[in-house]
Amino acid sequence: MLRLAMTTDAETFERVRGPLADRGIAIDHVQAKERALRVSGGREREGPSDADDEFDGFDAGFVYPSRLMEGVVVDARLSVPWVNDREAVLTSRNKAGVLAALDAAGIPTPRTTLVSNPVDEAVVTEAVAPFSYPVVVKPNSATRGVGVATATDLDSLLGVVDYLNLVHDYRATGDKSYLIQEFLPDARDYRAMVVDGAYVGAVERELPPDAVEEGRWKHNVHRGAAATGVDLPDRARELAERTAEALGIDYLGVDLLETDGRLVVNETNARPTVDAATKYKPDFYDRLAGLIERTAAGE
């Protein structure tokens, strides 16, 4: 039986464990953060350092750890190929890089400008000039909607930027860039899943009516939105597949926004949460198992 290492023990781990076991793939959790990790043995010897039992016997890894520093150590200990490796995670995490690559490939995206701190107010003012308010302001590397805000005029935009400047002032902050992006009102929010180049299902993420009435607009599941399985039209499926192909990522969540007949790719996620199997196509787990097997075989 093929053995797969997974560095998350949250929803995805619990949902995929049984279906993949039925297809000959055993999953075990490898803790990659909030722990102590041995880096070296501390003595002279020939060959690799003493093995850690918890890292032994794996044939492949699922998705590279989210914390890249710890990930390097875990990667060295496991010494296996990943379905989504470090490069895939880094590619998807860079929102501006993703949008630039997709735009170059002729894939529709929201109008977006990257601002690299530190800059003065004149640069921000010039950057936002081509946009109509409100605009979306978001950190370039954050996930789950963290730090994303709207600005309704120049003063409110500069207020958001002041906050980002405070955060970016800390030397340990790696990515000091943020995006100014057009706001698409009343857009329907979809997460399409692509496995090994093929669309395998999607969910629509919606806030409850009371949240919408309160003025909330971010459809992140971690912020209270519900994910409902949907059957996307061909043009949306093709857009998701083209996105995965353009980025060269085999297992990818593609976030689509649709409003006024316009369909765009807003973001991608190389560490997408797997939802209930009923929300995907019947061959979802067959395709996923096949991708894992090919990864383990080095293909």
Provide the token pair at 143: 């996930």
Residue 291 has pLDDT above 50, yes or no: yes
pLDDT at 43: 63
Yes or no: say if 78 and 58 are a contact pair by the CB < 8 Å rule: yes
The region of weakest confidence among 49-63, 110-124, 204-218, 235-249 is: 204-218
Residue 295 in domain: no
Rounded-to-integer distance, Cα 142 and Cα 96, Å: 12
Is the pLDDT reported for residue 72 higher than 50? yes
**Whether 138 and 64 share a structural domain:** no
Mean model confidence pLDDT for the chain: 89
What's the CA gap between 252 and 243, in Å, rounded? 9
Query: What CATH number does the domain containing 196 carry?
Result: 3.30.470.20
Final residue in a domain of this structure, among 182, 200, 222: 182
Strands 2-6 and 25-29, how do they pair?
Answer: parallel
For the cut 60, the answer to whether the pLDDT of residue 112 exceeds it is: yes
Directed axis angle between helix 68-78 and helix 86-93, to 10°? 160
pLDDT digits (tens, 9 = 90+) for 154-195: 999 988 888 777 665 544 456 778 999 999 988 999 999 999
Q: Please check whether residues 174 and 191 belong to one and the same domain.
A: no
Given pLDDT bands bounded at 50, 70 and 90, which one contains residue 245?
very high
Neighbour-count burial of 7, counting CB atoms closer than 10 A to its CB (0-12 exposed, 13-18 middle, 19+ buried): buried
Q: Is residue 257 part of a domain?
A: yes
Length of the chain as a residue count: 299
Q: Is the pTM of this model over 0.85?
A: yes
262 and 202 share one domain: yes
Q: Where among 164, 182, 200 does a domain terminate?
A: 182
* Between residues 84 and 142, the one the model is more confident about: 84
Distance CA 34, CA 32 (A): 7
Q: Rg of the chain's alpha carbons, rounded to an integer?
A: 21
Range of the domain at 220: 185-283
d(C-alpha 278, C-alpha 158), whole Å:
45
Average pLDDT score over residue span 106-115 = 97
Residues 202 and 223 in one domain: yes
158 exposed, middle or buried (CB, 10 Å; 0-12, 13-18, 19+)? middle
**Domain identity same for 35 and 67:** yes
Contact criterion met (CB below 8 Å) for 265 and 254: yes
Residue in the structure block whose two tokens are 């995670």: 89
Q: What is the CATH number of the domain that holds 159?
A: 3.30.1490.20
Can you state the percent helix, strand and coil of the chain, rounding each to 5? 35, 25, 40
Do residues 270 and 191 both lie within one domain? yes
Q: Does the residue 161 lie in any domain?
A: yes
Give the model's pLDDT for residue 52: 59
If one counts the domains in the chain, the total is 3
Q: Is the pLDDT of residue 144 over 70?
A: no
Q: Which residues contact 61 (CB under 8 A, 6 or more apart)?
A: 4, 5, 6, 7, 30, 75, 78, 80, 81, 82, 83
User: In the chain, how many H helices and how many E strands?
Assistant: 9, 13
Question: Does 277 lie in the same domain as 189?
Answer: yes
Residue 25 has pLDDT above 80, yes or no: yes
SS3 97: helix
Report which of residues 174 and 235 the model is more confident about.
Answer: 235
| Residue 177 forms part of a structural domain | yes
The three-point CA angle 299-289-53 to 5° equals 80
pLDDT for the residue 63: 97
Sheet arrangement for strand 251-259: 226-230, 198-206, 188-195, 251-259, 262-269
In-domain check, residue 230: yes
CATH number at residue 40: 3.40.50.20
135 with 224, same domain?
A: no
Q: Is the pLDDT of residue 230 over 60?
A: yes
Instruction: Say which DSSP state 16 is in.
Output: H
Q: Do 117 and 80 have their domain in common? A: no
Domain assignment of residue 299, yes or no: no
CA 125 – CA 281 distance, rounded (Å): 46
**Can you say how many angstroms the Cα of residue 90 is from the centroid of all Cα atoms in its chain?**
9
Pick 140 or 99 by higher pLDDT: 99
Cis peptide before 209 (omega within 30 of 0): no
Q: Are residues 279 and 231 in the same domain?
A: yes
In a domain, 14, yes or no: yes
214 confidence band (pLDDT: 50, 70, 90): low
Judge contact between 169 and 119, C-beta under 8 A.
no
User: Are 197 and 265 found together in one domain?
Assistant: yes
Residue 166 falls within a domain, yes or no? yes
Could you read off the pLDDT of 39-56 as tens digits, one per residue? 887 666 555 555 558 899
Q: Which of 143, 164, 182 is the last residue of a domain?
A: 182
Same domain? For 173 and 228 the reply is no
